[in-house]
Amino acid sequence: MGSSVGWLARRLAAVLQQHLEPAGVRLELWDGASTYAGPRPIGTLVVADLRTLLGILVNPHLQFGECYMHGTLQVRGGLEPVLEAITRLALIPSWRERISSYFATGNSVQRARRNVHHHYDLGNDFYSSWLDERLVYTCAYFERPDMSLEQAQIAKMDLVCRKLRLQPGESVVEAGCGWGALALHMARQYGVNVRAVNVSYEQTAYARAWAAREGLTGQVEFIEDDYRNLAGEYDVFVSVGMLEHVGLTHYPSLAGVMRRTLRRPNGRGLLHFIGRDIPRPLNAWIRRRIFPGGYAPTLAQVATRVLEPARMSILDVENLRLHYARTLAHWSRRFAAASDQVRGRYGEEFRRAWELYLVGSEATFAAGALQLFQVVFAPCESTPPYRTRAEVYGGAQDDAWLAGTR
Amino acid sequence: MGSSVGWLARRLAAVLQQHLEPAGVRLELWDGASTYAGPRPIGTLVVADLRTLLGILVNPHLQFGECYMHGTLQVRGGLEPVLEAITRLALIPSWRERISSYFATGNSVQRARRNVHHHYDLGNDFYSSWLDERLVYTCAYFERPDMSLEQAQIAKMDLVCRKLRLQPGESVVEAGCGWGALALHMARQYGVNVRAVNVSYEQTAYARAWAAREGLTGQVEFIEDDYRNLAGEYDVFVSVGMLEHVGLTHYPSLAGVMRRTLRRPNGRGLLHFIGRDIPRPLNAWIRRRIFPGGYAPTLAQVATRVLEPARMSILDVENLRLHYARTLAHWSRRFAAASDQVRGRYGEEFRRAWELYLVGSEATFAAGALQLFQVVFAPCESTPPYRTRAEVYGGAQDDAWLAGTR
């Protein structure tokens, strides 16, 4: 079990154990010893050497992930409950985190392309081994609790369309379209014309081929480009899961795009993004290994830096964080089932990194340290697209309202 | 028709007319002359003298109201459409307004009491002549378009209760309870215990008598006090139509109250308030004559100055601005029907001031220059009170979700 455990290691472990004990997490050193004295623990962190112990003490946000990935940190008793309990220990960001979140880097056009390539161009095969059949890589909507992941992703796309009250023949621009599922859903089910942009070559190629197979090429145009280059005017602006990659310093450019592309006075839009209650950078390890340049903003940051400069009125906000926890639980289970395949192709470190990312994200949404906001907005001078939410959730539509009669 | 119209007055009127013409509003001087050259106007402003003309040119935000109140400015062709068209001319605040909104005065405990007395202690008779029978003086919810004001106010109170998912036996604290309708509705229909505070003597006395008549004294306690003095812990925090009177500089005290009074981990709350898309002070005349100390914040201001320091997670936001326009249309009609009575008791200037306030507010909500936000929140560590909105809008409740199972 590695080298012997010295006096210093025992003292350091005792300090760390004290910190973890309120979460019910036990710490075990490489000789099997532990100073845990709480009630039945929910799980155990097993540290393989002094270097791992030091790393976790000095820079926990980064080193927990690094050590887990390298295998020098093992977790017994269920990765998710352990991570969820640890996350709850620090739901409120420290002042250091709050300050550093204001210096979150932005992503230039080149850098955004590189960052997206890092994550999304791992190969469509990789993603299809654990996403749903339509490759929807954003929070699903479990409209009924017994829905499958496939059903919940369709329910999510449909919820987005209903919140936007899409009408046949309208034009929609989608910023960051992934593998194209939402664009095709909008075109197929709601009869709208969609222009969808994405900086990932692999995703765009996949989406184009899919549109061709469905005979929707005339209705949906997939463009490999940055959202900042969007031109034209549209009835609807939609962006699902892209804002996390934009970076705070580039919010004004996004605002400019929205302001110039959204038709008035009947335009409206929806932003769906991972957010925070209080400003805080994304976890350092996630930024290093999974999402370079990623940042999850607060609703207020999006309101003041995107929607106010774009002159948009906020009509509706829904927080779906528990739906994202459930979505991630589905992905984790499928990822675990595909683990031999992933290990064979990308190696064990990669597999452990992605396991930690998926399970850790589930834990973070479940604990309430990450939020998922869906924000519906419209230019300040526009009439809101519906009178009551009952129209979105199954009630009758009220067209007199739309005509502006009171 | 007053004094003769000189050369200067004609030049000034031409400048003002040029500004009003895009709104289709005609300007007429005291000799009947107008330089209006647009299509059929939607209405006419009739100016009685040079002083009125100068006032409106130099300080329109304040003097429009002053002159209308004094009767030296008359409006022909429908007050509401004219005001709505003028409001649309300046939907986006000027930089001067944006900057001055950051210096919006706060309201100390004494000043808050004085301000509230100014507005709310005009006499219950006055308000009962044009509000609904329950004296609900906040935005109604026209769940069905044909609802009466009475029905829509009940629907609003019920919507608030359903969004909060009130359970029998829970404790609720209400900050700013008006004449008590919501507190009594919550107690009667949902079986909760309510502690409701209000700094208005007349309103508190009325609410107490009403509770006694209904036999709800044991369940609802009405207290004449400032929200800042609230003590104890509650399951639910609710405040409908009070935030507008708090003032930006006192948001941290409100945050402190919410943070210390809301029970964890199952607490939740709702703020219902008049808001803005972009920071902007309330109209100067409204602040002078109707709501001293009033301020309508943006959602971002409430998020950063109230909800973040209170460590609350935003779960749901709904913008009901068109419902407020409709509510105000109801109030205006009833107020007009009671105008002889109001004039007899308070004089014609008072009647004109309140007419302008009610009709002008309708126009402002209709044009999109004011918003009505309902925000549901919960302490960061709490589980959201429902899984999908379908549960709020008539669907079945999903208790497994509440138990935390995913």
Residue A274: beta bridge partners? A372
Overall average pLDDT of the A348-370 stretch = 97
Return d(Cα B129, Cα B123) in angstroms, integer. 10
Q: Chain A residue with minimal CA distance to B307? A: A277
Are B234 and B352 in contact, with CB atoms under 8 Å apart?
A: no
Q: List CB contacts (< 8 A) between B280 and chain A.
A: none
pLDDT of residue A105: 58
Summarised one tens digit per residue, pLDDT across range A262-300 is 988 889 999 999 999 999 999 999 999 998 889 999 999
DSSP tag of A122: S
Measured in angstroms, the CA of A27 and the nearest CA of chain B are apart by 24
Nearest-Cα residue of chain B relative to residue A312? B277
Of B175 and B227, more confident? B175
As a whole number of angstroms, the distance between CA A49 and CA B362 comes to 69
Confidence of residue B24 (pLDDT cuts 50, 70, 90): very high
Please tell me the distance from the alpha carbon of residue B310 to that of residue A371, in angstroms, as a whole number.
17
**What pLDDT is attached to residue A116?**
67
Residues 6+ apart with CB under 8 A from A243: A254, A271, A273, A297, A302, A306
Nearest by CB to B313, from A312, A319, A389: name it: A319
CB < 8 Å to B299, chain A = 299-300, 303, 314
Residue of B nearest to A390 (CA): B393
Distance (Å) from the C-alpha of residue B323 to the closest C-alpha of chain A? 8
Residue type, A381: E
Whether A332 and A362 have beta carbons less than 8 Å apart is answered as: yes
Mark yes or no for CB contact B387/A88 under 8 Å.
no
The per-residue pLDDT for B142 is: 96
Is A401 close to B321, i.e. CB distance below 8 A?
no
Q: What share of chain B in percent tops pLDDT 70?
A: 94
Q: Which residue segments constitute the domains of chain A, with CATH numbers given? A: 7-77 (no CATH), 109-318+371-380 (3.40.50.150)
Find out whether the peptide bond into A168 is cis, omega within 30 degrees of 0.
no
**Mean per-residue pLDDT, B49-76:** 95
Query: What is the band of A156 on the pLDDT scale with cuts at 50, 70, 90?
Result: very high
Which strands, in side-by-side order, build the sheet including B73-76?
A: B25-28, B43-47, B73-76
Rounded mean pLDDT, B248-258: 94
Q: How many Å lie between the alpha carbon of A323 and the closest alpha carbon of chain B? A: 8
Q: Residue B211 pLDDT > 70, yes or no? A: yes
pLDDT bucket at B399, cuts 50 / 70 / 90: low
Higher pLDDT among residues B93 and B371, named by residue? B371
Q: How much is the pLDDT for A239?
A: 98
Q: What number is the average pLDDT over the span A192-199? A: 96
| The pLDDT of residue B400 | 52
- Judged by CB atoms closer than 8 Å, whether chains meet at A321 and B88 is answered as no
pLDDT at residue A401, as a whole number: 47
Q: What's the pTM value of the predicted model, to 2 decimals?
A: 0.94
Q: What is the percentage of chain A residues whose pLDDT exceeds 70?
A: 94
* Interacting residues of B78 by C-beta distance below 8 A, sequence separation 6+: B42, B43
Euclidean distance between CA atoms B178 and B198, whole angstroms = 7
Contacts of B308 in chain A (CB under 8 A): 277-278, 298, 300
- Nearest of A324, A323, A306, A276 to residue A377 by alpha carbon: A306
Residue A232's closest CA among A263, A208, A255? A263
Model pLDDT, residue A400: 52
What is chain A's mean pLDDT, rounded?
Answer: 92
What one-character DSSP code corresponds to residue A276?
Answer: B
Contact present, B370 and B364 (Cβ < 8 Å): yes
Report CB contact under 8 Å: B145, A401.
Answer: yes
Assign A122 a pLDDT band (cuts: 50, 70, 90).
confident
* Stretch A22-43: mean pLDDT: 95
Quickly state the pLDDT bin for A4 (edges 50, 70, 90). Answer: confident
Say whether pLDDT at A10 is over 50: yes
Q: Do A380 and B92 touch (CB under 8 A)?
A: yes
Q: Which residues of B fall within a CB distance of 8 Å from A401?
A: 145, 322
- Better-predicted residue by pLDDT, B396 or B363: B363
| Cα-Cα end-to-end distance for chain A | 76
The tens digit of pLDDT for each residue in A281-291 reads: 999 999 999 98
CA quadruple A177, A179, A180, A182: dihedral positive or negative? negative
A384 and B321: CB-CB below 8 Å?
A: yes
Given a contact cutoff of 8 angstroms between Cβ atoms, the answer to whether A12 and A53 are in contact is: yes
| Closest-CA residue of chain B to A381 | B368
For chains A and B, CB pairs below 8 A equal 143
Where does residue B141 fall: left (phi above 0), alpha (psi -120 to 50 degrees), or beta otherwise? beta
Please choose, from the candidates B232, B274, B270, B228, the residue with its C-alpha nearest in 3D space to the C-alpha of residue B251: B228
Residue A110 CB neighbours (<10 A):
10
Chain A residues closer than 8 Å to B401 by CB? 145, 322
pLDDT recorded at residue A106: 61
List pLDDT tens digits, range A220-235: 999 999 888 899 999 9
Q: What's A224-255 look like in SS3? A: ECCHHHCCCCECEEEEECCHHHCCHHHHHHHH
Which pLDDT belongs to residue A397? 52
Between A26-30, B120-124, B347-351, the lowest mean confidence (pLDDT) is in: B120-124
Is residue A91 predicted with pLDDT exceeding 90?
no
Q: What gap in Å lies between CA B69 and CA B49, rounded to an integer? A: 15
HEC readout, B368-384: CCCEEEEEEEEECCCCC
What is the predicted pLDDT for the residue at A403?
A: 46
For residues A86 and A25, is the Cβ–Cβ distance under 8 A?
A: yes
Predicted local confidence at residue B13, as pLDDT: 96
pLDDT top residue among B406 and A164: A164
Q: What angle do CA B130, B135, B137 make, to 5 degrees?
A: 85
Selection from A288, A316, A346 nearest residue A123 by Cα: A346
pLDDT in tens, A330-340: 999 999 999 99
Across chain B, mean pLDDT equals 91
